[in-house]
Every structure is written in structure tokens, then in C-alpha cells.
Amino acid sequence: MENCYIKLENVDLFYPSHIYNATTLKQEVFALLKLQKKKEKLEDVQALKNFSLQVKEGEKLGIIGHNGAGKSTLLKTIAGIYPIKSGERKVKGDIRSLFDLSLGFDLESTGRENIMYRGLLLGETPNTIREKENEIIEFAELGEFIDYPIRSYSSGMLVRLAFAISTSIPGEILLLDEVIAAGDASFYAKAKERMSGLMSQAKILVLVSHDLNTVREVCNRAILIKQGSIIKDGDPEEVIDYYRKSI
């Protein structure tokens, strides 16, 4: 039995219609006064359709396709963020997701406090977070600002802190939505080196990217998704070539 794997079998996932059917007070008043048409009720939107996928230990899977094809939805389904309506999801291995770096941040708390909050959300214990704290602070290059509330941070400072925390904790299964460009040019080289290390250490990598060269260089397997279904699966070069010809 493999130590790590991802198995999705005949998975159907829908975005509930109430997300799209919600109306504002202004829209309700305008419709009542017949200043605009009342919104038509929309049905649930199916994001993944009878979707099956198996990823084995040692595979580095690239996911490509047009915007809206279901790539990011698939990542979040694997991570267990989106509940499936039918089918089966089985994942064995410690998952590390890098597609929502700011998750768990409290703007009124300091950078140091947010290291603890975010670390706990990522499954660490208070002791293991404290052991990594100095390394995270040094990598983020925040200096004395680490003890300031993060509402006072610039966007670049916030990204550096989020990236430093999220990438300080390795995972057996790495889910990555685009290769993250963190911070300014001086920070980017260091961030890129760390990402390369994380990707090489992961037992399974699942990468969503519009950069086809990155998929070709990093991955040993690729799938092409269209309208929530896999239409091509195989060697990255073959899948990328098929995708380019279909555009």
C-alpha cells in the first residue's frame, strides 16, 4: 500500500444556487418599482462532473485549462475545502495547501501573534510553531514590525509574512495554485528557491498553472480540464501540445 495517494471516484460537485441568487436591498427596491427586471433564479452550477482521478506517490501532476475550467475547484476539492455532492474522495498523506496564504490572519493582532494563529490552522502545535518562529521572522524580513499589528503592514510585508509561515511547514502532499511570486524583486529569488525545495520534497505535487513551461519543467504528468472534466491525461509534453492545438 502506498504511503500517500489521492483518489477521486465519480465525484460531482456543485456551487449552490443561493450564492448567485442573493439580491441586495437596492435590487429588490428597483425590481419592486419596476426600474429593473427582477433577477431570474439560477440553478446550482456543476463544477466537477462524474470526476475520477488517481494520483500516486512520486507523481508531480500539473493541471492546465482555460479560466473557469475547474482547476482551482479541483485543488480545493482534494484539500477537502469544498464538499462533494456524490462520489468518493480518499486522500492519504499530510496535505499542505498554498492557495490562500492569508487564511487565519487577524488584522488587529501582531505579526508574531499571527504566526501562531496561522501555524495552528496548518496543524502545528504551539511548541513546534515557537521552534520555527525566529526562522519565519528572519525569512519574512520584517524586523521590528513583527510586533506591530498587521493592519499597519504594506501589502508586500503581508505577503512576505504569509509566505514565510505557509512555506515553513512541509507537507507530504503539496497543493499549489500557480507558482507564487511573493513580495518584491529582492525577495522573489529567495521565495523561488524555497518553493523549489518544497516541490522537490513533496511525495505528491499537484500544481495548477497557466505557465505551461513551469508545468513542463516541474511535472511528470499533466491533465487538461474543460468544464469540470478531464479531456486529456498523460505526459506533460503531449498534454500541453494537445491543449495548444485545441486553443
pLDDT of residue 28: 56
| Residues 6 or more apart in contact with residue 8 via CB below 8 angstroms | 51, 52, 53, 54, 77, 78, 87, 88, 89, 90
Residue 78 has pLDDT above 90, yes or no: yes
- Whether the per-residue pLDDT at 7 is higher than 80: the answer is yes
Q: What is the pTM of this model?
A: 0.80
- Map out the domains of the chain as residue ranges: 5-93+207-246, 111-202
Q: At what angle do helices 126-140 and 155-166 cross, to 10 degrees?
A: 140
Q: Phi and psi dihedrals of 209, rounded to 5?
A: -155, 145
Q: What would the pLDDT profile of 129-143 be if each residue is shown by its tens digit? A: 999 999 999 999 999
Q: Regarding beta strands 86-92 and 5-15, do their DSSP bridges make them parallel or antiparallel, or are they unpaired?
A: antiparallel
CATH number 3.40.50.300 is the correct assignment for the domain at 5-93+207-246: yes
Q: Which of 53-62, 107-116, 187-196, 200-209 has the lowest mean pLDDT?
A: 187-196
What is the Cα–Cα distance from 29 to 197, expressed in whole angstroms? 55
Q: What is the DSSP letter of 201?
A: H
pLDDT for res 60: 96
Mean per-residue pLDDT, 196-219: 92
